Every structure is written in C-alpha cells, then in structure tokens.
C-alpha cells in the first residue's frame, strides 16, 4: 500500500486539553518536527455524557483549541489540524481500515475516546504513525529516535509497537509502576529498552505495514458484564473495550511486543501527568523547561508518570479516590437524566 507520508506524528486532542495546549503543543512540535514528515493534530468533537471525559466549557475550549492549533500551523508547514468527523461515511472508512467492519462505536464502554483514536491514525496517511495524547511531555532531545525505532522494528518481526523510554532513565535503567508481568529488559544499540506485552494509547509508534501483514484487522472486543452494567448506568455505549485493551490483547494473543527504547544519546523519553490542577497549570512552564533540559529530580527517574518530586499531587489523589470518582460519575448521569 502506498502512503503519502513515511512518518507522521498524530496528536489526539480533546477540547478539555485547551488549558495546557498553549504550552504543551509547541513543546511536542519542537520534539517531533525534526523526526517526522507530518504532524497531524486531531481534535475530538464528541462529548461524553458523563465522567472525566465530559468536562465543562466544552464548546468554548473546542473553539479556542482549534484556533490555537491553526495559529501554530502558520509557522509550521508540517502541521495539519482537523476535527474528528463523525459522519456515517467517515466512520465506515475508518472502521473498514482498522477493523474490517462497517462501523465502530464512537466511545469505549467507560466514555473514553475510541473512534477518535483510529480516525486520527487513519488520516495521518503515513506508514509509521507516532500517536500520542495531547498531555504528553518528552525529554532527551534525540533527533534520531524515530529512525532507530523503525530499524529495530524491521529487524524483529515480533515488534508491533515502539515507544520512547518510559520516564527519564535512572543510572541503572530500572523502571517502576508497570505491574506484572514485569517487562523484559533488553539492550538496543547499547542503550536500555524494555519489551512489553501490553499497550498504552498515551504514546506509541505503529508500523501500519506490520499491522496489515501480521493481523490484517483488529478485533472489536466486548466489555464484560460488570463493565456493560456500568456503561448503561453512565449513559455510555456498552459495545467495546478501550483501544489500549484491544491492542494489549492483540499483542498477547499473537506473541507480539511493544518495545520502549531510549535510543542513542541523548535518547528520547516520555512523561505523563497523572492528574490536573491549579498547581500543575501554574508550574507547567518550569516543568516543560526541566523536561527539555533533563534537569529532573533523581526521584523522578524511572517513573513514566510525573512524580511528587516535581508536582505535589496530594490534593488530586485525595479527590480521585475511587468512591469519589464514581459518585461524581453518578451525579453527572443523574443531572443529565433530570
């Protein structure tokens, strides 16, 4: 299959990303523009009915985010900006491309994005797609990471996905917070890397030719009974698991892997904010500066989520306790129903 672009970075954004996009989107462009042929920002336009994906100021932030991205485009010819098209013909095209189906659900069972992820990748029009969410940060500063990751994928037929190293590396290259089974430590061109059999939609690079050759299409996995019950309660479609769950199941079922590699010096690593809040927005400029310069606390190293040594997340953790989160979801649902 012919692709208009060899490598594209595809950034999935949502109107509620607007408060941090003015700083993070230029940062992301600085990191990836030297390594890709195209940068595509896709802005989701479909609002979830309840929960953390619903948000407030949706329409206002949607307009402001679109204007911001279009303004950045004037100084970055590689940058394109589109809103996600939910028309039946557009949905069929995306569904056929990734799932061999005539349609796919708009949202996952929990109200999280589903169709929007695949719409963005489909419209990147590239063989190698670097997909990431709009809140990701990247350190290291490598301009060769993409080519190194592609070269490694080409020599190992079990690799479907690659990604930057998960967090700033420790001197011993140990990583934390990945659960069981623990990822396998490997060396790639003398630099540390880890092999996983799960995926994250936060960040990955996908070789579309490898996907076509090994799998053809992805499966549409249905949620379990408990998840379907929760989805009905929350007003979300009960038809499909999260995109990253599907990708993870595909890896395990087919003996495939995701490999997160640092690459040759200075390397490339990713960092993710687990929460939002006033302190995060206030300190975001210095956070980006620290990540781009590599001046991060030792306690942050080896962690892919922003650690308390950089931002004190105590208030956000308290607010996000499970019972409080479900109470908020129920309140949203009852308010909409009323």
> What is the reported pTM?
0.92
**Residue 54 pLDDT:** 59
State yes or no: pLDDT of 89 exceeds 70: yes
Q: How confident is the model at residue 49 (pLDDT cuts 50, 70, 90)?
A: low
> CA-to-CA distance for 280 and 273, rounded, in angstroms?
8
Higher pLDDT, 53 or 21: 21
Q: How confident is the model at residue 61 (pLDDT cuts 50, 70, 90)?
A: very high
Residue 210 has which token pair?
Answer: 């490898």
DSSP 7-64: EEEEEEE-GGGHHHHHHHHHHHHHHHGGG-SEEEEEE--PPPSSSTTT-SSHHHHHHH
Instruction: Check: CB of residue 292 under 8 Å from CB of residue 141.
Output: yes
Domain edges within the chain: 5-312
**Residue 338 pLDDT:** 44
How many residues can be counted in the chain?
A: 338
Q: What is the mean pLDDT of the chain?
A: 93
- Write out pLDDT tens, residues 193-215: 999 999 999 999 999 999 999 99
CATH number assigned to the domain with residue range 5-312, chosen from the 4 options 1.10.287.3510, 3.90.550.10, 3.40.50.2000, 2.40.10.10? 3.90.550.10
């Amino acid at each position: 299959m012919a692709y208009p672009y060899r490598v594209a970075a595809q950034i999935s954004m949502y109107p509620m990303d607007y408060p941090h996009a003015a700083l993070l989107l230029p940062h992301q462009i600085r990191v990836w523009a030297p390594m890709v042929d195209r940068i595509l920002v896709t802005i989701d336009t479909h609002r979830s009915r309840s929960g953390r994906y619903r948000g407030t100021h949706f329409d206002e932030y949607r307009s402001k985010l679109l204007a911001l991205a279009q303004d950045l485009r004037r100084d970055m010819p590689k940058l394109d900006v589109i809103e996600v098209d939910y028309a039946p013909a557009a949905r069929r095209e995306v569904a056929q491309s990734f799932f061999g189906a005539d349609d796919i659900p708009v949202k996952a069972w929990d109200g999280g994005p589903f169709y929007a992820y695949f719409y963005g990748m489909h419209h990147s029009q590239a063989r190698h797609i670097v997909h990431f969410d709009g809140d990701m940060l990247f350190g290291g500063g490598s301009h060769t990471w993409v080519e190194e990751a592609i070269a490694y994928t080409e020599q190992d037929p079990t690799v479907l996905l690659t990604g930057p190293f998960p967090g700033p590396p420790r001197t011993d290259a140990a990583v934390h917070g990945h659960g069981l089974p623990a990822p396998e430590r490997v060396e790639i061109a003398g630099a540390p890397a880890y092999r996983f059999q799960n995926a994250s939609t936060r960040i990955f690079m996908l070789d579309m030719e490898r996907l076509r050759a090994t799998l053809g299409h992805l499966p549409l996995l249905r949620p379990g009974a408990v998840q379907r019950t929760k989805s009905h309660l929350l007003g979300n479609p009960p038809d499909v698991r999260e995109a990253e769950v599907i990708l993870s199941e595909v890896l395990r079922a087919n003996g495939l892997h995701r490999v997160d590699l640092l690459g040759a010096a200075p390397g490339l690593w990713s960092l993710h904010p687990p929460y939002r809040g006033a302190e995060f927005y206030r300190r975001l400029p210095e956070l980006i500066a620290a990540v781009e310069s590599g001046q991060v606390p030792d306690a942050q190293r080896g962690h892919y989520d922003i650690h308390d040594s950089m931002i004190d997340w105590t208030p956000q953790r308290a607010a996000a306790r499970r019972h409080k989160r479900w109470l908020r979801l129920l309140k949203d649902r009852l308010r909409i129903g009323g």
